């Protein structure tokens, strides 16, 4: 993505306003666990590798990763969600406490399993680590309607000082379309309300914008897009109209992004930086965090998409679930 001098000035001024923004982040809080080890030998019990564990750490994933990106971009974050009374839940709360992100509106629920994605990576000696397996630990059932309504009330109570609302729906029940309608009614377009829904994007109506990836768009309409750009445009335009969105930003991996707005031609954005990707884990969370924060700072949808494209291009060059800072984006824009 090339950035003109005029756009560069606008983008840099937006980033300067990031610390003035306060974002309510409502959604599914996920723990991303990384286990690193050295391949020792092949097991005698079965034809599998034995890994000698070296390190283990837990970082925010899912909606928690979106909140983590917001914080590292300089915003104040009101974090709203649920974790269990377990090790991953403790780790997430401790992580955010160390970053001075308040968790007072994060419910600790006995018997609830904090959604956890454990990635086991191994290598030989000092060689490059490769992911060997991923183990997911999930709640036995979605959160009840009572808990969802408690979270919605907490979000509503946080709206007064906020400049944007971000909803991250990973399917675990902390947010759903019916409860978000109550938020939309209260926001009344006073501030941007963005939605990132992994499995249910067709159910969300009336939000400001959404940032699905191409695979999520395919799943929603049960159509394969592949390289059919015209089909991509048709499906995106249909989602835009059906959901009453003001903008739709579809991410396409190495193909970059496409921004859709009513009554405007699609605006494709080529990938920012190199297409030699290190890790795409959590990149969508970075994109919606940067997009939302730019809108909160007063960006047009196109300029917000440019900021998000830059953030996404930077974060995929990092290993694991990562974030980008406002300074990194600023330097990248200056050097683009």
Q: Are 21 and 297 in contact (CB under 8 A)?
A: yes
Q: Beta strand pairing status for 193-197 and 164-169?
A: parallel
Q: In terms of Cα–Cα distance, which of 234, 220, 228 is closest to 252? A: 228
Strand partners, 23: 77, 164
CA distance 285 to 22: 17
Catalytic pick among 78, 169, 196, 285: 285
CB atoms within 10 A of CB 257: 27
Q: Are 259 and 232 in contact (CB under 8 A)?
A: no
Give, in order, the Cα–Cα distances in Å from 120 to each of 277, 280, 281: 20, 16, 14
Q: In terms of Cα–Cα distance, which of 303, 304, 302, 308 is closest to 256? A: 308
- 196 included as an active-site residue: no
DSSP annotation of 118: E
CA distance 25 to 167: 6
* Residue matched to tokens 């924060």: 293
CA within 13 Å, CB half, 246: 14
φ/ψ of residue 315, rounded to 5: -70, -30
**Residues identified as active-site:** 285
């Amino acid at each position: 993505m090339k950035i003109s001098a005029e756009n560069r000035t606008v983008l840099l001024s937006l980033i300067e306003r990031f610390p003035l923004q306060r974002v309510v982040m409502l959604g599914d809080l996920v723990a991303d666990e990384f286990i690193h080890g050295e391949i020792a030998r092949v097991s005698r019990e079965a034809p599998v590798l034995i890994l000698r564990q070296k390190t283990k750490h837990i970082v925010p994933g899912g909606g928690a990763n979106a909140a983590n990106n917001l914080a590292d971009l300089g915003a104040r974050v009101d974090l709203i969600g649920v974790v269990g009374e377990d090790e991953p839940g403790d780790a997430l709360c401790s992580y955010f406490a160390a970053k001075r992100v308040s968790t007072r509106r994060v419910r600790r629920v006995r018997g609830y399993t904090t959604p956890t994605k454990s990635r086991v990576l191994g290598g030989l000696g000092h060689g490059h680590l490769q992911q060997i397996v991923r183990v997911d630990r999930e709640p036995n059932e979605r959160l009840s309607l009572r808990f969802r309504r408690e979270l919605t009330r907490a979000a509503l109570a946080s709206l007064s000082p906020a400049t944007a609302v971000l909803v991250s729906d990973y399917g675990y029940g902390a947010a759903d379309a019916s409860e978000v309608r109550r938020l939309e009614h209260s926001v009344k377009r006073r501030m941007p309300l963005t939605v990132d829904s992994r499995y249910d994007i067709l159910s969300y109506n009336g939000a400001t914008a959404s940032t699905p990836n191409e695979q999520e768009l395919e799943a929603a309409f049960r159509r394969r897009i592949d390289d059919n750009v015209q089909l991509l445009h048709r499906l995106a335009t249909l989602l835009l109209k059906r959901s009453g969105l003001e903008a739709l930003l579809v991410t396409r991996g190495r193909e970059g992004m496409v921004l859709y707005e009513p009554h405007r031609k699609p605006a494709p954005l080529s990938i920012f930086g190199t297409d030699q990707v290190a890790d795409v884990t959590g990149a969508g969370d970075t994109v919606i965090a940067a997009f939302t924060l730019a809108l909160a700072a007063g960006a047009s949808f196109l300029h917000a998409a440019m900021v998000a494209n830059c953030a996404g291009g930077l974060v995929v060059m990092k290993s694991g679930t990562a974030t980008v800072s406002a300074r990194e984006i600023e330097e990248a824009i200056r050097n683009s």
